[in-house]
Amino acid sequence: MGRGVMVGVTVGVAVAACLVAGVVVGKRVKSRRKWKRVMGVLRELEEGCETTVGRLKQVVDAMAVEMHAGLASEGGSKLKMLLTFVDNLPSGSEKGTYYALDLGGTNFRVLRVLLGGQRSSILAKDVERQPIPPHLMSGTSEDLFDFMASSVKEFVEKEGNDSESSVVKKKELGFTFSFPVRQTSVLSGILIKWTKGFAIEEMVEKEVAQYLQEALIRKGLDMRVAVLAYFSLLIYSEQVNDTVGTLALGHYHDEDTVAAVIIGTGSNACYVERTDAIIKCQGLLTTSGGMVVNMEWGNFWSSHLPRTSYDIDLDADSPNPYDMGFEKMISGMYLGDIVRRVILRMSQESDIFGPDSSRLSVPFILRTPLMAAMHEDDSPELTVVAGILREVLEISDVPLKVRKLVVKICDVVTRRAARLAAAGIVGILKKIGRDGSGGITSGRTRSDVKMRRTVVAIEGGLYTNYTMFREYLHEALTEILGEQIAQHVILKETEDGSGIGAAILAASYSSSNSVDNDTDTVQPL
């Protein structure tokens, strides 16, 4: 009897153990299935974002072809290829004090630079920033520009009577106006429409610089608006940097600068083009034979761009669907949200991120600087990743392997963006014959071409502050061009093209500098 009881107990324990083992095994199998589904999402992302050298070269060719088409006719390309009428870039010999007014949104800046007459010699710089009172954003043009002109006057008067500029008869000012403009000359342009909350209807289809010039006169300032720089399509940026000003600043520091690229919240590029290549404006004459062209490259599109379902959904949910496709794949406004969308998809496939978080469904809640911080987290336990997931997305207690997965997602999205930006830059170089191939219409081989030193000025927080992005861009540039050609192409960081660059452009168009100094004309390429 006792023996039977013992046997029964033993059997019961064995059965219980089997049941427990079964549960454990079942959980492991279920967990592996969940992880397998998540890995499937990651593989799909990696394949969709693949940027082989062959594919990047296809993007290069497409960019060059679209540039050619945009120069041939209005509306002939997704690239607008806007004429800036800037045919006179700084030479470095400019001397004196010059000003800039940068109206980029709900704030404006007034700047003063003192140039020493030697290349790269900026002896002094002063900047003041002021908010635009909300009532002026929808008031009258006179009220808005009188307010800014008064600020300029106060800024000028702070110099004191001993300033070098106090003996100059007429002061020169560059005006950066970051709204859609149809440029008609280097110092004039017609406002197409307001953005960023401004709504002064009387100014639409009117000449912009004239409003500022008249306000300066009303305030008793002997100051001439020497150049109007504009930046029309990056309407989502908090701070807009002008590519033309960036090119001017780059050329002031280095005469081999032929193009400028902004890669920040938004993205754009401009470059120096031969006037005889601007077919849509036949008969266009400049003293130099060249002109700066604003590409508006954020709107570039090609079937060769590696587009994923996340890009399609982001575009559909954006205020401007089917527009600015290239910018949405490479700029800081969008990269963080692409990562958020991938994490959301993974959370829908499995519970590896824990309970559902409603914040994962909030567009643009994961900003690109936060994404970059997670990507570059080098702590052993990825504590930065854990903190951002917890504080921003309300996802807590994430295992280390899941945190590593998040870093991988950031890497895939960032690598694609940087490599596509590099392809865009090489596309510009190909169009102007600076990629070692001899140009878009050349039949010469690379061995027949002698490469000239080529500098591209580059600005924007995504490039300057995001180390991994910058390294991936440089890596791709070398892969596309080849090491022998790439050594002749230099990317040079600039700072504040929309401000300092505008002031230096004013100097290059100053009557005193054009008479006294050897100001550079834009040289045909």
Which of 67-81, 148-162, 225-239 bottoms out in mean pLDDT, i.e. has the lowest?
225-239
- Please give the torsion angle defined by the CA atoms of residues 198, 201, 202 and 204, in that order, rounded to the nearest 10 degrees: 90
Please report how the helices 383-393 and 368-375 are oriented relative to each other, as an axis angle in degrees rounded to 10: 150
Give 189's strand partners: 183
Q: Distance of CA 239 to CAs 138, 260, 264, Å?
A: 20, 17, 9
- All residues at 6 or more sequence positions from 270 whose CB lies less than 8 Å from its CB, including other chains: 84, 243, 244, 246, 247, 259, 260, 292, 293, 294, 295
pLDDT in tens, 344-375: 999 999 889 988 899 999 999 999 999 999 99
Per-residue pLDDT at 168: 45
Residue of higher predicted confidence among 232 and 130: 130
What average pLDDT does the chain have?
Answer: 86
The C-alpha angle with vertex 8 and arms to 5 and 9, in degrees rounded to 5, equals 85
pLDDT in tens, 439-497: 554 444 445 557 899 999 999 999 999 999 999 999 999 999 999 999 999 999 999 88
Whose structure tokens read 């927080």? 461
Q: Is 509 helix (H, G, I), strand (E, B) or coil?
A: coil
- All residues at 6 or more sequence positions from 9 whose CB lies less than 8 Å from its CB, including other chains: none
pLDDT in tens, 5-34: 565 555 555 544 445 444 444 445 556 788
Q: H or E stretch including 209?
A: helix 208-218
451: tokens are 């490469």
Residue 510's pLDDT band, with cuts at 50, 70 and 90, is: confident
- Please give the torsion angle defined by the CA atoms of residues 493, 233, 80 and 89, in that order, rounded to the nearest 10 degrees: -40
Sign of CA dihedral 456, 440, 289, 100: negative
Distance CA 410, CA 24 (A): 33
Residue of higher predicted confidence among 40 and 228: 40
96: tokens are 């004196």
Distance CA 342, CA 411 (A): 12
Q: What is the largest CA-CA distance in the chain?
A: 121
pLDDT in tens, 245-280: 899 999 999 999 999 999 998 899 999 999 999 999
**Can you tell me the mean pLDDT for 180-184?**
81
- Give phi and psi for 141, each to the nearest 5: -65, -40
Distance CA 161, CA 81 (A): 44
Locate the DSSP E strands across 222-278.
Answer: 223-230, 257-263, 267-274
pLDDT in tens, 116-125: 888 778 888 9
Q: Tell me which amino acid residue 180 is.
A: P
pLDDT in tens, 401-454: 999 999 999 999 999 999 999 999 999 999 999 998 865 544 444 455 578 999
Distance CA 246, CA 90 (A): 12
> Are 446 and 437 contacting, i.e. CB atoms less than 8 angstroms apart?
yes
Per-residue pLDDT at 239: 26
> Are 512 and 168 contacting, i.e. CB atoms less than 8 angstroms apart?
yes
> Are 299 and 366 contacting, i.e. CB atoms less than 8 angstroms apart?
no
CA 296 to chain centre: 11
Per-residue pLDDT at 305: 98
Q: Distance of CA 210 to CAs 140, 215, 340, Å?
A: 15, 9, 45
Sign of CA dihedral 495, 262, 426, 247: negative
Q: H or E stretch including 172?
A: strand 171-177
> Is this prediction's pTM over 0.95?
no
Listed residue (477, 493, 495) closest to 485, CA to CA: 477
Distance CA 486, CA 467 (A): 20
pLDDT in tens, 277-301: 999 987 776 767 899 999 999 999 9
The C-alpha angle with vertex 243 and arms to 242 and 248, in degrees rounded to 5, equals 100
Listed residue (73, 118, 110, 75) closest to 94, CA to CA: 118
Per-residue pLDDT at 187: 79
